[in-house]
Structure 1
Amino acid sequence: MGSPVAAEIIAASGYDAVMTDMEHGSGDFANAVQQFQAITAGGAVPLIRIPANDPVDLKRALDAGPAGVMVPAVSSAAEAAAAVNACRYPPQGIRGVAHSVARASGYGTDVEGYLQWLEAEFLLICQIETMEGVGDVDAIAAVEGVDMLLVGPMDLSASAGHFNDPDCAEMDAPMARVAEAAGNEGVLLGTMATAGRTAPDLFEAGYDFVLDTVDIAILREAARAKVVASWKYTRDKKRGG
Protein backbone atom coordinates (compact mmCIF):
# COMPACT_ATOMS: atom_id res chain seq x y z
CA MET A 1 0.00 0.00 0.00
CA GLY A 2 2.97 2.32 0.27
CA SER A 3 2.02 3.12 3.87
CA PRO A 4 4.73 3.61 6.52
CA VAL A 5 2.11 3.04 9.22
CA ALA A 6 1.07 -0.29 7.71
CA ALA A 7 4.73 -1.24 7.29
CA GLU A 8 5.47 -0.49 10.94
CA ILE A 9 2.43 -2.43 12.17
CA ILE A 10 3.44 -5.47 10.12
CA ALA A 11 7.05 -5.24 11.30
CA ALA A 12 5.93 -4.94 14.92
CA SER A 13 3.76 -8.04 14.50
CA GLY A 14 6.84 -10.23 14.50
CA TYR A 15 8.01 -10.66 10.91
CA ASP A 16 11.78 -10.92 10.48
CA ALA A 17 11.76 -8.72 7.37
CA VAL A 18 9.29 -6.52 5.51
CA MET A 19 9.66 -5.78 1.80
CA THR A 20 8.61 -2.48 0.26
CA ASP A 21 7.26 -3.19 -3.22
CA MET A 22 7.93 -0.64 -5.93
CA GLU A 23 7.09 -2.98 -8.81
CA HIS A 24 3.38 -3.34 -8.01
CA GLY A 25 3.06 -1.11 -4.94
CA SER A 26 1.98 2.52 -4.87
CA GLY A 27 5.00 4.09 -3.18
CA ASP A 28 7.95 6.05 -4.56
CA PHE A 29 11.57 6.35 -3.42
CA ALA A 30 10.85 9.15 -0.93
CA ASN A 31 8.04 7.07 0.53
CA ALA A 32 10.31 4.01 0.59
CA VAL A 33 12.67 5.81 2.97
CA GLN A 34 9.75 6.46 5.32
CA GLN A 35 8.77 2.80 5.10
CA PHE A 36 12.35 1.68 5.87
CA GLN A 37 12.35 3.91 8.94
CA ALA A 38 9.00 2.50 10.04
CA ILE A 39 10.05 -1.10 9.42
CA THR A 40 13.23 -0.63 11.44
CA ALA A 41 11.26 1.02 14.25
CA GLY A 42 8.94 -1.98 14.22
CA GLY A 43 11.86 -4.34 14.74
CA ALA A 44 12.19 -5.91 11.29
CA VAL A 45 14.72 -5.77 8.47
CA PRO A 46 13.78 -3.48 5.54
CA LEU A 47 13.97 -4.87 2.01
CA ILE A 48 12.76 -3.47 -1.30
CA ARG A 49 11.66 -4.77 -4.69
CA ILE A 50 12.55 -2.24 -7.37
CA PRO A 51 10.35 -1.58 -10.43
CA ALA A 52 12.75 -3.11 -12.97
CA ASN A 53 16.32 -4.26 -13.48
CA ASP A 54 17.47 -0.72 -14.07
CA PRO A 55 20.77 0.80 -12.85
CA VAL A 56 19.09 4.05 -11.83
CA ASP A 57 16.45 2.21 -9.80
CA LEU A 58 19.14 0.11 -8.14
CA LYS A 59 21.27 3.16 -7.35
CA ARG A 60 18.38 5.05 -5.79
CA ALA A 61 17.21 2.00 -3.85
CA LEU A 62 20.66 1.30 -2.41
CA ASP A 63 21.21 4.94 -1.47
CA ALA A 64 17.95 4.82 0.52
CA GLY A 65 19.46 2.20 2.82
CA PRO A 66 17.59 -1.13 2.73
CA ALA A 67 19.27 -4.32 3.88
CA GLY A 68 18.60 -5.92 0.50
CA VAL A 69 17.14 -5.35 -2.94
CA MET A 70 15.05 -7.74 -5.03
CA VAL A 71 15.32 -7.40 -8.80
CA PRO A 72 12.24 -8.66 -10.68
CA ALA A 73 12.20 -10.89 -13.75
CA VAL A 74 15.87 -11.83 -14.00
CA SER A 75 15.87 -14.15 -17.01
CA SER A 76 19.54 -14.58 -17.90
CA ALA A 77 23.02 -14.57 -16.43
CA ALA A 78 23.69 -11.34 -18.32
CA GLU A 79 20.76 -9.66 -16.59
CA ALA A 80 21.95 -10.92 -13.21
CA ALA A 81 25.45 -9.63 -13.90
CA ALA A 82 24.02 -6.25 -14.89
CA ALA A 83 22.20 -6.05 -11.56
CA VAL A 84 25.36 -6.90 -9.64
CA ASN A 85 27.30 -4.32 -11.66
CA ALA A 86 24.75 -1.62 -10.83
CA CYS A 87 25.10 -2.34 -7.10
CA ARG A 88 28.87 -1.90 -6.99
CA TYR A 89 30.93 1.23 -6.99
CA PRO A 90 33.70 1.70 -9.59
CA PRO A 91 35.98 0.10 -10.53
CA GLN A 92 34.02 -3.11 -9.74
CA GLY A 93 30.73 -1.66 -11.03
CA ILE A 94 28.88 1.41 -12.27
CA ARG A 95 26.97 2.62 -9.22
CA GLY A 96 26.99 6.39 -8.93
CA VAL A 97 29.10 7.61 -6.03
CA ALA A 98 27.11 9.56 -3.44
CA HIS A 99 27.87 7.56 -0.31
CA SER A 100 28.99 10.70 1.50
CA VAL A 101 25.41 12.02 1.55
CA ALA A 102 23.22 8.91 1.12
CA ARG A 103 20.93 7.68 3.86
CA ALA A 104 22.58 4.26 3.56
CA SER A 105 25.79 5.64 5.10
CA GLY A 106 24.00 7.63 7.78
CA TYR A 107 24.10 10.66 5.49
CA GLY A 108 27.87 10.48 5.45
CA THR A 109 28.42 9.89 9.16
CA ASP A 110 29.64 6.30 8.70
CA VAL A 111 30.98 5.93 5.18
CA GLU A 112 33.64 3.36 6.03
CA GLY A 113 31.20 1.26 8.02
CA TYR A 114 28.71 1.37 5.18
CA LEU A 115 31.27 0.27 2.60
CA GLN A 116 32.29 -2.66 4.79
CA TRP A 117 28.64 -3.60 5.37
CA LEU A 118 27.87 -3.36 1.67
CA GLU A 119 30.61 -5.84 0.85
CA ALA A 120 29.82 -8.27 3.65
CA GLU A 121 26.08 -8.16 4.32
CA PHE A 122 24.05 -6.50 1.56
CA LEU A 123 21.57 -8.94 0.01
CA LEU A 124 20.95 -8.99 -3.75
CA ILE A 125 17.91 -11.10 -4.63
CA CYS A 126 17.27 -12.16 -8.22
CA GLN A 127 13.64 -13.03 -8.84
CA ILE A 128 13.13 -15.96 -11.19
CA GLU A 129 9.67 -15.59 -12.71
CA THR A 130 9.94 -16.63 -16.36
CA MET A 131 10.58 -19.98 -17.99
CA GLU A 132 13.51 -18.32 -19.74
CA GLY A 133 14.96 -17.60 -16.32
CA VAL A 134 14.44 -21.19 -15.24
CA GLY A 135 16.26 -22.30 -18.38
CA ASP A 136 19.31 -20.20 -17.48
CA VAL A 137 19.02 -20.56 -13.72
CA ASP A 138 22.31 -22.42 -13.25
CA ALA A 139 24.22 -19.58 -14.89
CA ILE A 140 22.22 -16.95 -12.97
CA ALA A 141 23.02 -18.64 -9.66
CA ALA A 142 26.69 -18.78 -10.60
CA VAL A 143 27.01 -15.01 -11.07
CA GLU A 144 29.28 -13.70 -8.33
CA GLY A 145 27.34 -11.20 -6.23
CA VAL A 146 23.95 -12.91 -6.50
CA ASP A 147 22.93 -13.83 -2.95
CA MET A 148 19.46 -15.33 -3.39
CA LEU A 149 17.21 -16.79 -6.07
CA LEU A 150 13.56 -16.10 -5.36
CA VAL A 151 10.81 -17.83 -7.32
CA GLY A 152 7.94 -15.53 -8.32
CA PRO A 153 5.11 -18.09 -8.49
CA MET A 154 2.43 -15.91 -10.08
CA ASP A 155 4.50 -14.69 -13.02
CA LEU A 156 6.33 -17.98 -13.40
CA SER A 157 3.10 -19.95 -13.64
CA ALA A 158 1.80 -17.44 -16.20
CA SER A 159 5.02 -17.79 -18.17
CA ALA A 160 4.54 -21.57 -18.12
CA GLY A 161 1.03 -21.23 -19.56
CA HIS A 162 -0.90 -21.54 -16.29
CA PHE A 163 -2.14 -18.01 -15.64
CA ASN A 164 -3.41 -17.41 -12.10
CA ASP A 165 -2.66 -21.01 -11.10
CA PRO A 166 0.62 -20.92 -9.13
CA ASP A 167 -0.24 -24.09 -7.24
CA CYS A 168 -0.66 -26.30 -10.29
CA ALA A 169 1.39 -29.49 -10.48
CA GLU A 170 3.22 -28.14 -13.52
CA MET A 171 5.01 -25.67 -11.23
CA ASP A 172 6.76 -28.42 -9.30
CA ALA A 173 9.47 -29.03 -11.90
CA PRO A 174 10.54 -25.40 -12.52
CA MET A 175 10.54 -24.67 -8.79
CA ALA A 176 12.69 -27.74 -8.23
CA ARG A 177 15.13 -26.55 -10.91
CA VAL A 178 15.55 -23.20 -9.17
CA ALA A 179 16.05 -24.95 -5.84
CA GLU A 180 18.65 -27.25 -7.37
CA ALA A 181 20.58 -24.36 -8.90
CA ALA A 182 20.57 -22.43 -5.63
CA GLY A 183 21.82 -25.46 -3.75
CA ASN A 184 24.56 -26.19 -6.26
CA GLU A 185 25.93 -22.65 -6.06
CA GLY A 186 25.39 -22.15 -2.34
CA VAL A 187 23.04 -19.19 -2.68
CA LEU A 188 19.89 -18.66 -0.66
CA LEU A 189 16.52 -19.89 -1.92
CA GLY A 190 13.33 -17.91 -1.56
CA THR A 191 9.78 -17.66 -2.86
CA MET A 192 6.34 -16.28 -2.08
CA ALA A 193 3.74 -18.29 -0.19
CA THR A 194 0.51 -19.20 -1.96
CA ALA A 195 -2.72 -20.89 -0.91
CA GLY A 196 -1.34 -24.29 -1.86
CA ARG A 197 2.25 -23.70 -0.74
CA THR A 198 2.17 -22.07 2.68
CA ALA A 199 5.16 -20.62 4.48
CA PRO A 200 5.49 -23.63 6.84
CA ASP A 201 5.31 -25.98 3.84
CA LEU A 202 8.01 -24.04 2.02
CA PHE A 203 10.36 -23.84 5.00
CA GLU A 204 9.88 -27.58 5.49
CA ALA A 205 10.80 -28.06 1.82
CA GLY A 206 14.12 -26.27 2.35
CA TYR A 207 13.43 -22.65 1.42
CA ASP A 208 15.53 -20.13 3.33
CA PHE A 209 13.25 -17.12 2.86
CA VAL A 210 9.50 -16.86 2.27
CA LEU A 211 7.44 -13.76 1.56
CA ASP A 212 4.36 -14.77 3.52
CA THR A 213 1.70 -12.25 2.48
CA VAL A 214 1.07 -8.63 1.45
CA ASP A 215 -0.39 -5.74 3.39
CA ILE A 216 -3.42 -5.44 1.10
CA ALA A 217 -4.30 -9.11 1.66
CA ILE A 218 -3.98 -8.74 5.43
CA LEU A 219 -6.31 -5.73 5.45
CA ARG A 220 -8.75 -7.23 2.95
CA GLU A 221 -9.12 -10.55 4.74
CA ALA A 222 -9.42 -8.92 8.16
CA ALA A 223 -12.11 -6.58 6.85
CA ARG A 224 -13.97 -9.44 5.20
CA ALA A 225 -13.86 -11.49 8.38
CA LYS A 226 -15.29 -8.57 10.35
CA VAL A 227 -18.05 -8.04 7.80
CA VAL A 228 -18.98 -11.72 7.82
CA ALA A 229 -18.97 -11.85 11.62
CA SER A 230 -21.12 -8.71 11.87
CA TRP A 231 -23.52 -9.96 9.24
CA LYS A 232 -23.86 -13.30 11.02
CA TYR A 233 -24.46 -11.55 14.34
CA THR A 234 -27.16 -9.23 12.98
CA ARG A 235 -28.80 -12.09 11.09
CA ASP A 236 -28.90 -14.26 14.21
CA LYS A 237 -30.26 -11.38 16.31
CA LYS A 238 -33.07 -10.82 13.84
CA ARG A 239 -33.94 -14.51 13.85
CA GLY A 240 -33.92 -14.57 17.61
CA GLY A 241 -36.38 -11.85 18.01
Structure 2
Amino acid sequence: MVAVKPTISHVIFDFDGLLVDTEPSYTLANQAMLSRFGREFTMDMKARMMGRKNLEAIAWLLDEVGIADRVTPEEYAVDYHKMLAKMFEKCDSLPGAENLVRHLAKNGIPMAICTGSCSRSFFQKAENHRDWLDLIPIHVCIGDDDSIKRGKPHPDAFLETMRRFPIPPTNPSHVLVFEDAPNGVKAALEAGMRPDKVLFTLKEFAPEEFGLPPFD
Protein backbone atom coordinates (compact mmCIF):
# COMPACT_ATOMS: atom_id res chain seq x y z
CA MET A 1 0.00 0.00 0.00
CA VAL A 2 1.47 3.35 -1.06
CA ALA A 3 1.58 5.95 1.71
CA VAL A 4 -0.29 9.14 0.86
CA LYS A 5 1.78 12.26 1.41
CA PRO A 6 0.00 15.01 3.37
CA THR A 7 -1.30 17.98 1.43
CA ILE A 8 0.78 21.12 1.76
CA SER A 9 -0.99 24.01 3.48
CA HIS A 10 1.92 26.39 4.25
CA VAL A 11 5.20 27.33 2.54
CA ILE A 12 8.51 28.52 4.01
CA PHE A 13 11.26 29.93 1.80
CA ASP A 14 14.95 30.25 2.48
CA PHE A 15 16.15 33.53 0.99
CA ASP A 16 19.77 33.82 -0.12
CA GLY A 17 20.47 32.00 -3.35
CA LEU A 18 16.85 30.90 -3.62
CA LEU A 19 14.72 34.03 -4.07
CA VAL A 20 17.44 36.64 -4.62
CA ASP A 21 20.89 36.04 -6.11
CA THR A 22 22.98 37.08 -3.12
CA GLU A 23 25.23 34.02 -2.82
CA PRO A 24 28.01 35.33 -5.13
CA SER A 25 28.27 38.37 -2.85
CA TYR A 26 29.03 36.21 0.19
CA THR A 27 31.66 34.32 -1.77
CA LEU A 28 33.40 37.45 -3.04
CA ALA A 29 33.33 39.18 0.35
CA ASN A 30 34.80 36.18 2.16
CA GLN A 31 37.45 35.73 -0.52
CA ALA A 32 38.45 39.37 -0.15
CA MET A 33 38.54 39.17 3.64
CA LEU A 34 40.53 35.95 3.86
CA SER A 35 43.05 37.13 1.25
CA ARG A 36 44.15 39.73 3.80
CA PHE A 37 45.39 36.84 5.93
CA GLY A 38 46.82 34.78 3.09
CA ARG A 39 43.94 32.30 3.15
CA GLU A 40 41.50 31.04 0.52
CA PHE A 41 37.73 30.66 0.73
CA THR A 42 36.33 27.45 -0.78
CA MET A 43 32.87 26.34 -1.81
CA ASP A 44 33.04 23.55 0.77
CA MET A 45 33.55 26.16 3.49
CA LYS A 46 30.63 28.15 2.14
CA ALA A 47 28.31 25.13 2.16
CA ARG A 48 29.21 24.36 5.77
CA MET A 49 28.58 27.97 6.85
CA MET A 50 25.16 28.33 5.23
CA GLY A 51 22.20 28.60 7.58
CA ARG A 52 24.25 29.23 10.73
CA LYS A 53 23.82 32.35 12.83
CA ASN A 54 26.09 35.15 11.57
CA LEU A 55 28.84 35.31 14.20
CA GLU A 56 28.67 31.55 14.68
CA ALA A 57 29.41 31.07 10.97
CA ILE A 58 32.29 33.57 11.03
CA ALA A 59 33.78 32.00 14.17
CA TRP A 60 33.66 28.61 12.48
CA LEU A 61 35.37 30.01 9.38
CA LEU A 62 38.17 31.73 11.31
CA ASP A 63 38.87 28.52 13.19
CA GLU A 64 38.70 26.45 10.00
CA VAL A 65 41.36 28.54 8.23
CA GLY A 66 43.51 28.93 11.33
CA ILE A 67 43.28 32.66 11.97
CA ALA A 68 41.07 32.71 15.06
CA ASP A 69 44.06 34.01 17.03
CA ARG A 70 44.55 36.93 14.63
CA VAL A 71 41.05 38.39 14.29
CA THR A 72 37.81 38.07 16.25
CA PRO A 73 34.47 37.28 14.59
CA GLU A 74 33.26 40.77 15.55
CA GLU A 75 36.29 42.45 13.93
CA TYR A 76 35.97 40.35 10.78
CA ALA A 77 32.24 41.13 10.58
CA VAL A 78 32.73 44.92 10.42
CA ASP A 79 34.53 45.07 7.05
CA TYR A 80 32.78 41.96 5.77
CA HIS A 81 29.33 43.52 6.15
CA LYS A 82 30.48 46.82 4.65
CA MET A 83 31.48 44.93 1.51
CA LEU A 84 28.21 43.02 1.44
CA ALA A 85 26.04 46.13 1.81
CA LYS A 86 27.47 47.57 -1.42
CA MET A 87 27.08 44.29 -3.30
CA PHE A 88 23.49 43.70 -2.16
CA GLU A 89 22.32 46.84 -3.99
CA LYS A 90 22.92 45.07 -7.31
CA CYS A 91 21.44 41.63 -6.58
CA ASP A 92 18.80 40.32 -9.00
CA SER A 93 15.88 38.03 -8.26
CA LEU A 94 16.38 34.41 -9.28
CA PRO A 95 14.45 32.75 -12.13
CA GLY A 96 10.96 31.63 -11.15
CA ALA A 97 11.02 33.21 -7.69
CA GLU A 98 8.72 36.17 -8.27
CA ASN A 99 6.28 34.13 -10.36
CA LEU A 100 5.98 31.43 -7.69
CA VAL A 101 5.51 33.91 -4.85
CA ARG A 102 2.81 35.80 -6.77
CA HIS A 103 1.09 32.52 -7.68
CA LEU A 104 0.99 31.29 -4.08
CA ALA A 105 -0.20 34.68 -2.82
CA LYS A 106 -2.99 34.78 -5.41
CA ASN A 107 -4.16 31.36 -4.23
CA GLY A 108 -4.08 32.27 -0.55
CA ILE A 109 -1.23 29.98 0.49
CA PRO A 110 0.37 31.24 3.75
CA MET A 111 4.07 31.99 3.22
CA ALA A 112 7.08 32.91 5.33
CA ILE A 113 10.80 33.52 4.85
CA CYS A 114 13.30 31.90 7.21
CA THR A 115 16.83 33.18 6.58
CA GLY A 116 20.15 32.93 8.35
CA SER A 117 20.66 36.67 7.82
CA CYS A 118 20.26 39.35 10.45
CA SER A 119 17.25 41.62 9.93
CA ARG A 120 19.24 44.66 8.74
CA SER A 121 21.03 42.59 6.10
CA PHE A 122 17.79 40.95 4.99
CA PHE A 123 16.04 44.25 4.35
CA GLN A 124 19.08 45.58 2.45
CA LYS A 125 18.86 42.60 0.12
CA ALA A 126 15.08 42.76 -0.19
CA GLU A 127 14.82 46.51 -0.84
CA ASN A 128 14.85 46.34 -4.66
CA HIS A 129 12.31 43.50 -4.69
CA ARG A 130 9.72 44.79 -2.26
CA ASP A 131 6.93 44.77 -4.87
CA TRP A 132 6.74 40.97 -4.66
CA LEU A 133 8.64 40.06 -1.48
CA ASP A 134 6.10 42.05 0.53
CA LEU A 135 3.58 39.37 -0.46
CA ILE A 136 5.42 37.18 2.08
CA PRO A 137 4.36 38.72 5.41
CA ILE A 138 6.50 36.71 7.84
CA HIS A 139 10.28 37.20 7.93
CA VAL A 140 12.33 35.22 10.44
CA CYS A 141 15.95 36.39 10.55
CA ILE A 142 17.97 33.81 12.46
CA GLY A 143 21.01 36.06 12.69
CA ASP A 144 19.56 38.38 15.33
CA ASP A 145 16.35 36.69 16.46
CA ASP A 146 16.81 36.05 20.18
CA SER A 147 14.08 33.42 20.24
CA ILE A 148 16.19 31.16 18.01
CA LYS A 149 19.22 29.80 19.83
CA ARG A 150 20.48 27.42 17.14
CA GLY A 151 20.65 28.02 13.40
CA LYS A 152 20.36 25.48 10.61
CA PRO A 153 20.94 22.47 10.43
CA HIS A 154 19.00 22.42 13.72
CA PRO A 155 15.20 22.53 13.32
CA ASP A 156 14.63 25.43 15.74
CA ALA A 157 14.27 28.19 13.14
CA PHE A 158 11.74 26.37 10.98
CA LEU A 159 9.67 25.33 14.00
CA GLU A 160 9.64 28.92 15.27
CA THR A 161 8.65 30.17 11.80
CA MET A 162 5.77 27.70 11.74
CA ARG A 163 4.53 28.99 15.10
CA ARG A 164 4.39 32.56 13.74
CA PHE A 165 1.76 31.84 11.09
CA PRO A 166 -1.53 33.49 12.20
CA ILE A 167 -3.18 30.11 11.66
CA PRO A 168 -0.39 27.53 12.07
CA PRO A 169 -0.47 24.24 10.16
CA THR A 170 -2.02 21.30 11.97
CA ASN A 171 1.23 19.35 11.58
CA PRO A 172 4.79 20.19 10.42
CA SER A 173 4.38 17.66 7.60
CA HIS A 174 1.96 20.09 5.94
CA VAL A 175 4.76 22.66 5.51
CA LEU A 176 6.80 22.77 2.30
CA VAL A 177 10.27 24.26 2.73
CA PHE A 178 12.21 25.60 -0.26
CA GLU A 179 15.95 25.33 0.37
CA ASP A 180 19.13 25.40 -1.70
CA ALA A 181 21.59 24.40 1.05
CA PRO A 182 22.29 21.03 2.71
CA ASN A 183 22.05 22.55 6.21
CA GLY A 184 18.61 23.93 5.39
CA VAL A 185 17.35 20.64 3.97
CA LYS A 186 18.55 18.82 7.07
CA ALA A 187 16.87 21.40 9.33
CA ALA A 188 13.56 21.00 7.49
CA LEU A 189 13.70 17.22 7.80
CA GLU A 190 14.56 17.48 11.50
CA ALA A 191 11.52 19.74 11.91
CA GLY A 192 9.28 17.12 10.31
CA MET A 193 8.61 19.29 7.26
CA ARG A 194 8.89 18.50 3.55
CA PRO A 195 11.96 20.08 1.97
CA ASP A 196 12.18 20.78 -1.73
CA LYS A 197 15.89 21.09 -2.48
CA VAL A 198 16.19 23.57 -5.33
CA LEU A 199 19.24 22.53 -7.30
CA PHE A 200 18.82 24.81 -10.28
CA THR A 201 15.78 27.10 -10.46
CA LEU A 202 12.30 27.58 -9.01
CA LYS A 203 11.02 27.63 -12.60
CA GLU A 204 11.11 23.83 -12.47
CA PHE A 205 8.72 23.61 -9.51
CA ALA A 206 5.35 21.93 -10.19
CA PRO A 207 2.89 23.03 -7.44
CA GLU A 208 0.37 20.31 -8.23
CA GLU A 209 2.88 17.63 -7.20
CA PHE A 210 2.51 18.90 -3.63
CA GLY A 211 -1.25 19.37 -3.68
CA LEU A 212 -0.95 23.09 -4.41
CA PRO A 213 -2.87 24.92 -7.17
CA PRO A 214 -1.16 24.53 -10.57
CA PHE A 215 0.17 27.49 -12.48
CA ASP A 216 -2.34 29.10 -14.85
TM-score, normalised relative to structure 1: 0.28
Computing the radius of gyration over CA atoms, which structure comes out larger, 1 or 2?
1
Q: Specify which structure has the bigger relative contact order, considering alpha-carbon pairs within 8 angstroms and separated by 6 or more residues.
A: 2
